[in-house]
Amino acid sequence: MNIKVLVSCCSDYGLKETTEEVIKELGIDATVEKVKDIQTIMAYGVMKPPAIVVNEKVKAMGRVPSKDEIKKYIQNELNA
Amino acid sequence: MKEVILVSSAINWIVNILSYIVTALIRLIFGLFKISDSFLDSERYINAVTFFFTDTIVIFLMIIAITFVVSIIRSFFPPERTRKLLGEQGKARGFFGNIAGALLGIVTPFCSCSAVPVFIGFIGAGIPLGATFSFLIASPMVNEVAVTMLWALFGWKIALLYMATGLTVAIIAGVIIGKLKMEKYLEEDVCNIKIGDTEIVKLTWKQRITDAWSYDLDLLKKIWPYIIAGLVIGAAIHGWAPGDWLAKYAGRGNPFAVPIAVLLGIPLYSNAAGTLPIVSELTKLGVPMGTALSFMMAVTALSLPEMIILRKVMKPRLLAVFIGIMAVTIIFVGYLFNFVLA
């Protein structure tokens, strides 16, 4: 599973670290990347970071998802 | 309208009760510590301190409440949705595009970091340059902190007037920039970046409320020092300001007061939270409302950090035109305010 955390200069919020915790708790095999490049972020159709992309699908945009929400996004993708 | 007057009256009522409590407390403290009358001229001092505390408390309470409501409204207007709304089938054509851009700018939260992606995203979606500029001008200018503090310090009528003029500045400046056909002065990046198309994530009410509340707290954490600083400087101005000098150069007598105020404000940068308490003191000293507000707009709307960011998408000439047109429009609005309020 591939997870990308899209952030900008004023919106990091430790999303990568939170996502890594979730992966550990769920015990699954996944990579978490932090993306700061504006071109890549916009390629996902996101204009306002932060955002979370799971398996190339945008799950949250323009807000900071809670740990539980991140867990739900990942679990939904696992079940898909 | 009735609701607005009711809320304003409620706020007045709260201020009166708070003043009473704070004054009583201060008298108690002064009495307990036997602070002598002759040294402090206690009545005036008590009043000044009381006003400082109650002003501060009222401003903070209002910011908390209004920011919360505005954030909920804004959760329905992410910039990605605005881009779709304005970009569809040339909906943003002509004058209507500027109006729509400005209105949507007001309900979109502004972060300097998102100015570039928003700008690129709009142009890439085929939204005309003029409409994009109207959005970009309205968004930071008409923000909930500015409007709330204007309401707290000057009443709801001035707050509404500010929103109306913010919109007017955004629309007029956007129209002019659009007519100048300066698309070729955009940086190449703007036309080259591919913007993906993604489904806009739907939010639940629980998420909207949680988000609004955490945004509210974050905002408060960021701006409280500015508000306190502004109020303290304002109080200092109250005590030691050169009233005659201000009256001569910034008062009604000087027809060039507005342009001078705006030109002074352009190189200065502060946010609305820090500037408005100072502007409030200036008006009490006799500076006309239009002059004072156009100074505030010049300070807050035209900032070096924002220019540096916009330089990434605009060539210097377009950036200069942008600043120039904003300055002229703000000056025009300053005169208009003075005329309307006189």
How many whole angstroms separate alpha carbon B294 and alpha carbon A36?
Answer: 37
B144-195 tens-digit pLDDT: 999 999 998 898 999 998 998 899 889 999 999 999 988 888 888 787 787 8
A61 contacts B78? CB cut-off 8 A: yes
Percent of chain B with pLDDT over 70: 94
B80 contacts A48? CB cut-off 8 A: yes
Across the interface, of B120, B203, B210, the residue whose CB is closest to A42 is B120
The pLDDT score that the predictor gives to residue B44 is 66
In chain B, which residues have their Cβ closer than 8 Å to the Cβ of A39? Answer: 193-194
Interface probe with A: pick from B189, B195, B200, B219, most Cβ of A within 10 Å: B195
- pLDDT over threshold 60, residue B40: no
- Which of A20-29, B66-75, B230-239, B301-310 is predicted least confidently? B230-239
Low-confidence ranges of chain A (pLDDT < 50): none
First to last CA, chain A: 12
A38 contacts B197? CB cut-off 8 A: no
For residue B194, the chain A residue with the least C-alpha distance is A43
Residue type, B227: I
Q: Calculate the CA B39 to chain-centre distance.
A: 40
In chain A, which residues have their Cβ closer than 8 Å to the Cβ of B111? Answer: 10-11, 48
- pLDDT over threshold 80, residue B16: no
Interface probe with B: pick from A15, A42, A47, most Cβ of B within 10 Å: A47
Across the interface, of B113, B207, B214, the residue whose CB is closest to A9 is B113
Mean pLDDT of chain B: 86
Q: Domain ranges in chain B?
A: 2-191+200-341
Average pLDDT score over residue span B313-325: 92
Q: In which domain, by residue range, is A58 found?
A: 2-79
A61 contacts B193? CB cut-off 8 A: no
Average pLDDT score over residue span B127-143: 91
A48 contacts B78? CB cut-off 8 A: yes
Q: Number of folded domains in chain A? A: 1
The pLDDT score that the predictor gives to residue A9 is 77
Residue A41's CATH number: 3.40.30.10
Average pLDDT score over residue span B129-139: 93
Q: Does ipTM top 0.95?
A: no
How many whole angstroms separate alpha carbon A39 and alpha carbon B226?
Answer: 34
Written as six digits, the tokens of B170 are 């955004």
Most confidently modeled of B10-19, B114-123, B238-247?
A: B114-123
Residue type, B281: E
How many whole angstroms separate alpha carbon B170 and alpha carbon B107?
Answer: 14
The pLDDT score that the predictor gives to residue B101 is 93
Q: What is the pTM of this model?
A: 0.84
Q: Does B23 touch chain A (CB under 8 A)?
A: no
B240-285 tens-digit pLDDT: 767 677 777 778 778 899 999 999 888 888 888 889 988 988 888 8
The pLDDT score that the predictor gives to residue B114 is 82
> Could you tell me the pLDDT band of residue B126, with boundaries at 50, 70 and 90?
confident
Give the other-Cβ count within 10 Å of B35's Cβ. 13
The pLDDT score that the predictor gives to residue B98 is 93
Element (H, E) at B139: helix B129-141
- pLDDT over threshold 50, residue B39: no
For residue B77, the chain A residue with the least C-alpha distance is A62
